[in-house]
Structure formats: C-alpha cells, structure tokens
Structure 1
Amino acid sequence: MLHGYGSSILEGAWLTINLALSAMAMAIVLGLIGAAFRLSPLKWLARLGEGYTTLIRGIPDLVLILLIFYGGQDLVNRLALALGYTHYIDIDPFMAGVGTMGFIFGAYLSETFRGAFLAIHSGQGEAGAAYGMSGPQVFRRILLPQMIRLAIPGFTNNWLVLTKSTALISVIGLQDMMFKAKNAADATHEPFTFFLAVAALYLMLTSLSLLVLRYLEKHYSVGIKAAEL
C-alpha cells in the first residue's frame, strides 16, 4: 500500500516524536522562567516577560522557523568570521527545530503557568512559611503540585498544538515523517496515500497523548473534588 516507504515514514515519525519531546522540555523551562518574570515584583523583569510572550505569540510559527534557521545561521557565520573562524557553520535542522519550537511554545506555556500560579491562594504559601518551610520547600511541596494540576488542561492544549506544528519543521530540511511522506508522494505521484498515512500517525500520537495527560490530571486531582464537597 505504501510502496515500500512505510519504514521510512516510521523513521520520520520517531524523529517527529523526539523533536516534539525535546522542544516541549525546552518550552517548559522557558515557560517557568517566563512565568517567574511575569510574576516578579521587579517591573523591568515583568515587562521583559510580557514582551517575550507578546512578541512570540504575535508572529506566525513558520515565519519564526525560517527567521531563526536562516537568519540565525547567517548571524552565527558572521560572528564566527569576525572572530577569525573562516569555515562555514551549518546549523543542524533538528537542533534548529527544537530551539525554535521550544522558544515559541515557551511563550505560550509561560501564560499557562502564570495563570496556574495566580489561581493558588496566596495564604497557602504564607501558611507553609509559618510552619517553618523555606522558600524552595514552599514552592516544591505546596505551590508546584497545585500549579501542575491547574496547568495540565492548558499544557495539554499546547502539547497537542506543538506536536502538530512539528510538521512545519520539514521546510528547513528536517527528515521528519512529513518530509518523508512528501518525498514518497513525489516519487509515486500518490500524495493522498502518504499524507493520509501521516495524518493517521499524528492522530494516533495526539490520541495517546490525551490518554496520558488525562491520567495525570486525574492523578493530581485525587482528593480535590472530595475536599470541595
């Protein structure tokens, strides 16, 4: 049915999964930093965090991907030449994809995390401090578990969008499953077959992700409904 291209597309699917997971790991770190900036009492930090989220969310993902990959590569080579390094530097498409997607979705997650932290009553942190907990202990034992529970719905949405957006990285030459499917479609002149196969793989990936994230949401919500009743 796939004319021998099935294994190639599955290899691309594995690369897509690695890309999505690596980019999300980076996005989580940037999201937490961005949320900390937005919630900072220092105005310049709060404005820096707001500028990051406003700028990134206002520019299309594809434009940022092309800008960072081609513009970033040109900038790196210009800097290398200025420092006396004469060899041309190629940015790896996978690393460019991880960096770009992580940078983009870090802005979205910063808003998700900020909203989750704001939903936690300030008295809980004060109660932890009153019990003698240090700042890191209050964050780790009281704030972080509740933030995770509150952020999971928004995190789920961002993960699904990021996973589907990985298809855009094929434009810079990363041989993910979209790239492999396009090559197979060009060779066989059967685009519907291969793009339908890729659509099915993306659907399987997002469906499995939903099951895992719903389990985590239930896990972190244990006892919450009972306590509310």
Structure 2
Amino acid sequence: MSILDLLGFGPKGWGGLLLVAALTTLAVTLTALAIGAVIGTLVTAMKLARSRVLRVVATAYTTVFRGVPELLVIYLIYFGGSSAVTAAGHWLGVEGFLGMPSFIAGALAVGLIAGAYEAEVFRGAYLAIPLGEIEAAKAVGMPTFMRLRRIILPQVLRTAIPGLGNVWQLSLKDSALVSVTGLADLMRTSQVAAGSTRQYFLFFIVGGALYLILTSLSDRIFTGAEKRTQKSMAGDLGRV
C-alpha cells in the first residue's frame, strides 16, 4: 500500500483512527487541566492559609506529584482505582475483576500532576498582586467575595496565563503516557498502526507531527489570551 492509502480515510487507511485518537488526546488533556485547576486552586488556598497543618499538607502534595515520575502516578491511579472498583463490585455482589475506565484514570492521573504545577502558578500569581490593592479594598469595606471577583481573580488570571500555557503543554505530552492503560489515544493508535503495517517510522513521524500541531495551535491560543489580557489591563490602567 502507498503512503496515501495508509494515511487515508478509506477502509484500509488509518487517517480516521488517527484523527479520533488526536481528539481523544485533546479530551484527556482538557479534562486533566480542568481537574488540575480545581485541585490547584484548593492547594493554593491551603498554601496561603494561616494554618501550618494546611500549608504542610499542600507542600507535601506539590512535592510528591512534581517529584514522582508521571508514569508511576498513572500506574498507581489506574491499578489502585481498579482495585477499589473491584472491591466495591464484590461488596455489591459483582464477581471478577472490574477495571477502572482508562479515560477516567488517565485524566485523573494527569490532572493530579497538573494540579501540583497549577498550584504553584496560582500562588505566584496571587503573590504578584500589590498588597495595597487588597488592603484598600478591605479599608473601604468591600466584602470578601467581591474582593475575590473584582480584584484577586482578574489579576491572578492575567498573571497565570503564561504559566498555565506551560502546564497545558506539559499535560499534553504527559497524556501520551496514558496509552499504557490501553486508551486509544494518539500514542497508542500510532503504535498499533505501526505494528499492524510494519511502517514504524511513518506512523511515529505522523504521530509526532499531530502532537506538534496540537501544541502549536494551543500555544497560539494561550499567546492570544495573554495579549488580550495585557490589553485589558492597559485599558483599565488608562481609565484610572
């Protein structure tokens, strides 16, 4: 078969499967980043809390998930989650092994890793806010929720966008490791296509090219968002 036939969308081509796999990789990364944002926000609040216990727990979390290899985290979440699901199934009377869904396990594992990095991004962005602005808001009696909505969140997001872009790129590459759970993502599909056709060089090059396309497009999106927020900030300063 020719290269065009192998990469085409015909009955013997792998183009459709590779496209679906790329969308699966994108879905895993988006879900992981959302999970990481929730976890990162909570961990940031713990790191900034007055309680020493909360700060120690948050520091331990970021230290572990930034220091342990990503593949090990995926294995722990997948096999640990499968053991938990199997135990729950046995308690409900279901026999046999019940595996944790690969998509959920992969998104959760990558999300836990991303959360550790996002926590540091959010913490740095919060500390970059001039203390005088928060003190002034308190002095005029601005409620906590209003301070969060009108002062803290807008400035945190503006400062955090470049760091979040880096976390996104990291998570997109980490999602390739989810293939070890059997999920038909871009990496796994490239491996299957290469093994089935014996065209290893071709399909790994195509897989790498698709990853580069995803990272390039996402980089443009984050760059555009960063420029837009900077313009918004300049406009706000001009109106003061």
Give the TM-score, by structure 1 length: 0.93
Equivalent of 2:23 in 14, 18, 35: 14
* Cα distance in 2, alignment partners of residues 202 and 127 from structure 1: 47
Structure of greater relative contact order (alpha carbons < 8 Å, 6+ residues apart): 1
Equivalent of 1:222 in 223, 231, 236: 231
Where does residue 51 of structure 1 map in the other structure?
60
* Cα distance in 2, alignment partners of residues 125 and 117 from structure 1: 11
Equivalent of 2:87 in 68, 78, 98: 78
Kept in 1, the 8 Å contact 2:71–2:177? The answer is yes
Where in structure 2 are the equivalents of 1:93-108 lying within 5 Å?
93-108=102-117
Where does residue 172 of structure 1 map in the other structure?
181
Where does residue 35 of structure 1 map in the other structure?
44
Q: List per-residue Cα deviations over 1:44-80 (Å, max 9, x = no partner).
A: 1111111110111110000110111012212332354
- Structure 1 residue 187 and structure 2 residue 190: aligned? no
Aligned to 2:68, the other structure's residue is in SS state: coil
* Cα distance in 2, alignment partners of residues 224 and 167 from structure 1: 36
Letter in 1 for 2:129: I
Kept in 1, the 8 Å contact 2:81–2:105? The answer is no
CA RMSD of aligned residues (A): 1.7
Structure 1 gap segments, 5+ residues each: none
Equivalent of 2:160 in 151, 167, 171: 151
- Structure 1 residue 208 and structure 2 residue 217: aligned? yes
Q: Percent of aligned pairs with the same residue?
A: 39
Kept in 1, the 8 Å contact 2:85–2:99? The answer is no
Kept in 2, the 8 Å contact 1:145–1:220? The answer is no
Letter in 2 for 1:60: P
Equivalent of 1:131 in 122, 136, 140: 140
Structure 2 gap segments, 5+ residues each: 7-12
Q: CA deviation at 1:16?
A: 0.7
Equivalent of 2:34 in 17, 25, 30: 25
* Cα distance in 2, alignment partners of residues 165 and 104 from structure 1: 9
Q: CA deviation at 1:218?
A: 1.2
Q: List per-residue Cα deviations over 1:159-181 (Å, max 9, x = no partner).
A: 01111111110011000111111
Kept in 2, the 8 Å contact 1:177–1:198? The answer is yes
Letter in 2 for 1:168: L
Where does residue 68 of structure 1 map in the other structure?
77
Aligned to 2:231, the other structure's residue is in SS state: coil
Letter in 1 for 2:93: Y
Equivalent of 1:92 in 91, 101, 105: 101
